[in-house]
Structure 1
């Protein structure tokens, strides 16, 4: 009887110790849970896999839809520990994270979504300056979410650059304002969440976007012409963790998160490809969106525009100041 009591007490202490060592990490995102797109669905996959791979010892609690921090507040919220993990929409912070926003200075560029993700992985693995830039804000990137190939979704047909002259086009970041002006159009700075209304009310005539995102934000309800201007894939999002939280993980959990970050990119890429195919089928059917090809060579003269070149040269200057081999990195981004 005495042994049974001691055994029970020992078991209780083991369970208590396991519970004490368990961690629930918070993840903050601007994405709504019900978006049913590759972004939201891949995040749910991440949550489920983390719990599974840690044997239920640890889990991630999601805070969807900007409920903890708006998209523009996420880096500060993560840096200060308001959330443990979260999405940083890199193009919104070209001054804060210029190295990690390299793609945002080089539009158009030739890489697709998988190519952009691979480039980011390689740059982080090869050049410590990329991680150090994030570490200055107490952040660590454990995965990368490149967006899809972008084209231009418009309210009216566009067959050539001449058709874009005088158009108002949604803009953000560094490259797009200069690129839009070089096309003879007017850049209009509008957030992603406000672009639907801007298209609906003809505040803007077009928006650079990919098919899956256009459907996710329902832009294709109010703009029915998609022009396959080869801007290349946009980057995108950093899947980021507070650096103190990352360092505070035990070695096994940290290794689990590192591997999960690699596997996430594969799973997200699969979901994104499925999303785009589904959307293009819908466009060809009930949604009635007209898709128009646009020859890549029509964009090449735009790259010689002084404003476009100035944006690229600005990133190169920052990269050189950080001690990066600029020519080697930029060679991946030449259109």
Structure 2
């Protein structure tokens, strides 16, 4: 009888202790986006946070931060050093750290060689191809992230890059002497090959640069250019068929490797459920917004043009030749001795993805394809370990 009383008393005390003890807190990850409040990627990151919380049953949560925590220039070191757990890393800010990701970004104009098939889906096709290649075909790409104490979990490309100008540009003759802001290597090389003069200013400076006559055109997606950088107030013409390509050097959900390894497999899967949504949502909704912004531009009197056949042919010739230039540059400047083989190996992957996404109608469609073709094949027990 005494033993029973002691046992019952112990149970009662244990129950009381559980009631008085603080509840076990869910693990929370800090996600630095680098974008200002209200920007579309911040909203997509908040949706990602909801997905992660739901997929983990509340055991893993994500708190989203804007550029008040880290800028893009600070992001890579911020993830590496634990200032943030997850970061929207834009790799061209760090050319020596991520040469292979930058190389794959630097050949995105290859999309134009695939005809009209990618039109309106350039970002979602390129994102799928780049993720498949990095996850499964490029251990050296993975090593670059490991060297920065990061785990790669996806990219979020833009829509297609176009010419946003203060004059009509449709021919090779129109390109000659054009002062053109081009923010990355492939578009600067294209500008020079077409007879234009690349001007090195930031996207944020494009509006004043065009108003003051410093530049005639800028190469950007119409969403970034017309909406985010307000070139809708200065541009008069858009040439939609050149130069093409997307900006895809955007590992949007890189996670600190130590944080990743400390998580349970269930939490890793929950995190990837959010990462695949982020990878799909950013390019899908940018393409959707692209159509809306073009409608706004037309309503404001901006003229939408197509390059003539000669300028398009010259652009395709440039793209074909530029692959060799890119390979030589990355081999010489960054020691990527397999650069030529990387480009050759990436091309069929890209062609496959153009076909895979051709019938995508909703972001849920795209998430399903990314999940089926990529994320379902990631073994969370070994990946990133």
Calculate the TM-score normalised by the size of structure 2: 0.76
Give the C-alpha shift of residue 329 in structure 1. Answer: 2.3
In structure 2, the CA distance between the partners of 1:262 and 1:222, relative to structure 1 (3 Å rule), is same
- Contact 2:42-2:64 at 8 Å conserved across structures: no
Q: Which residue does the alignment assign to 1:34?
A: 38
Give the C-alpha shift of residue 308 in structure 1. Answer: 7.5
The one of 54, 58, 68 equivalent to 1:52 is: 54
Q: Is 1:121 paired with 2:125?
A: no
CA RMSD of superposed structures (Å): 2.7
Q: Which residue does the alignment assign to 1:220?
A: 232
Give the C-alpha shift of residue 158 in structure 1. Answer: 0.8
Give the C-alpha shift of residue 322 in structure 1. Answer: 7.8
Q: Which residue does the alignment assign to 1:299?
A: 315
Give the C-alpha shift of residue 5 in structure 1. Answer: 5.9
Give the C-alpha shift of residue 145 in structure 1. Answer: 0.3
Structure 2 gap segments, 5+ residues each: 1-7, 112-117, 352-385
Q: What is the rounded CA distance, in whole Å, between the counterparts of 2:209 and 2:75 in structure 1?
A: 24
SS across alignment from 2:238: strand
- Residues 31-110 of structure 1: pairs in structure 2 closer than 5 A: 31-35=35-39, 37=40, 39-64=41-66, 66-106=67-107, 108-110=109-111
Give the C-alpha shift of residue 33 in structure 1. Answer: 1.8
Q: Which residue does the alignment assign to 2:296?
A: 282
- Contact 2:91-2:101 at 8 Å conserved across structures: yes
- Residues 319-330 of structure 1: pairs in structure 2 closer than 5 A: 319-321=336-338, 325-330=342-347
Give the C-alpha shift of residue 153 in structure 1. Answer: 0.6
Q: What is the rounded CA distance, in whole Å, between the counterparts of 1:105 and 1:195 in structure 2?
A: 22
Calculate the TM-score normalised by the size of structure 1: 0.86
Structure 1 gap segments, 5+ residues each: none
**Which digits, 9 at most, give the CA deviation of each residue in 1:189-245, with x for residues without a partner?**
222333233223222221111122222222222212111114222214112111111
In structure 2, the CA distance between the partners of 1:224 and 1:92, relative to structure 1 (3 Å rule), is farther
Q: Which residue does the alignment assign to 2:151?
A: 140
How many residue pairs get matched?
325
In structure 2, the CA distance between the partners of 1:77 and 1:104, relative to structure 1 (3 Å rule), is same
Q: Which has the larger radius of gyration?
A: 2
- Contact 1:154-1:206 at 8 Å conserved across structures: yes
**Which digits, 9 at most, give the CA deviation of each residue in 1:168-200, with x for residues without a partner?**
211233222222211111112222333233223
